[in-house]
Structure 1
Amino acid sequence: MGIVESLCCLKFEVKILEARNVELKSSPSTLFVRFYLYAGNNTKVELNTAEICSRSDKEVMIWNQSFGLECQGNETAVEELKQENVVFELRRRKTSSFLRKWSRSELVGRGELSWKSVLESNGMEIERFVVMGETKDRILEDCDKPLLLKIALKVQASNLVKTKKKVEDLCVCRDCRECNCLDYEAFVVACALDGI
């Protein structure tokens, strides 16, 4: 007999739409958004949008860039996800640097949104502005409007039932209708490779 395990397949879509009220001080620079997705086991995946040039005559910076991630986990993993937040950082890189691509970026603003709010929303999908807390270094011009990042988050979930076969469940014969011959051949190859 096999072991039946209930798994959940989660598909995440993160869309970075635009930033508003961005008025930077000093030299010309490019802006990008860095965000971190929870990947289980206390690890996070770092993702960056494309870099776009900041201009003093533009208060709205548009990315309209999507990222997708698909993973599997059990109910415990989904409960852990509800405790996590997506952290968004608006960052800039000075364009005057010769080695701009490898130069360090500066944090302009930081904000976060909980996965719980997405999972508990209607259709497990939200689109909203996140207020980005400014840094101590005051990279932004003095402005009475808060720095905003418009994002959209979507989660699709589907249940999977996975059956794990035990070694003793594999049939030695190739004629029975209860076992899959491909599983048996894969098992034999795996054992042969393990013995090498």
Structure 2
Amino acid sequence: MGIVENIRSLKLEVKIVEARNVEVKSSLTTLFVRFYLHAGNNSKIELNTAEIRSRSDKEVVIWNQSFGLECQGNETVVEELKQQSVVFELRRRNTTSFLKKWSRSELVGRGNISWKSMIESDGMEIERFVVMDETKDRVLEDCDKPLLLKIALKVQASKPVKSKSVEDLCECRDCRRCNCLDYEAFVVACALAGI
């Protein structure tokens, strides 16, 4: 008990701006972007943009959709995060299916940006085109231009704060002998005090 831990809060804003050099073969297709964020313990968070109906006369698909996320962890978690990447996938779904909402999507292209490059950039903010590695079944028709996804990322990190220990919250300074109704409630209170 009484262990004081450094907590750091990270706020992340991900904006999917547009995809370029997208010339689809069928107007009965929707495009969307799926991206994955590392969530620790070999797990990841998956997020999807809105689906946009593609048009064969346009090479640019515009989303301008933003996502805001906030996470907390200690210095070790932040250092682990620097070893990871945000993975972006451009995906398509055939809209002719009767059950289109539940139909599987197909991968069109994949690209990534490392957390380290994001955190070490000026102001921890970047806006750039990511070159997507395309699948064998190309979306582009006779196009030598690479498939590009324009994204904007912004990270805000708070300074480490000391979380309070159980003893700091309990007047008797020894929760094992006090009349606390629920010791676990104090542990939860400690966790919330650090937030």
1:150-190 residue CA offsets vs partner (Å, 9 max, x unmatched) = 001111001222112149x7335xxxxx89xxxx89x4145
SS of the counterpart of 1:101? helix
Structure 2 CA distance for aligned equivalents of residues 133 and 154 of structure 1 = 24
Cα offsets for 1:81-114 (capped at 9, x unmatched): 1100011000000111111111000111111110
| Number of residue pairs the alignment of both structures matches | 181
Q: Which runs of 4+ in 1 moved over 3 A?
A: 189-192
- In structure 2, list runs of 5 or more residues that go unmatched: 186-195
TM-score by length of 2: 0.85
Query: Which runs of structure 2 are paired with 1:1-196 in the superposition (5 Å)?
Result: 2-26=2-26, 28-159=28-159, 160-166=161-167, 170-172=170-172, 187-190=180-183
With normalisation by structure 1, the TM-score equals 0.85
Alpha-carbon separation, structure 2, partners of 1:26 and 1:52: 13
1:122-168 CA-partner distances (Å, limit 9, x unpaired) = 0001000000111012233120111100001111001222112149x
CA contact (8 A) 2:28 2:94 kept: yes
CA RMSD of aligned residues (A): 2.3
Q: Larger Rg: 1 or 2? A: 1
Taking the aligned partners of 1:9 and 1:138, their CA distance within structure 2 comes to: 40
Structure 1: gaps (5+ residues): 173-177
Query: Identity, % of aligned pairs?
Result: 73
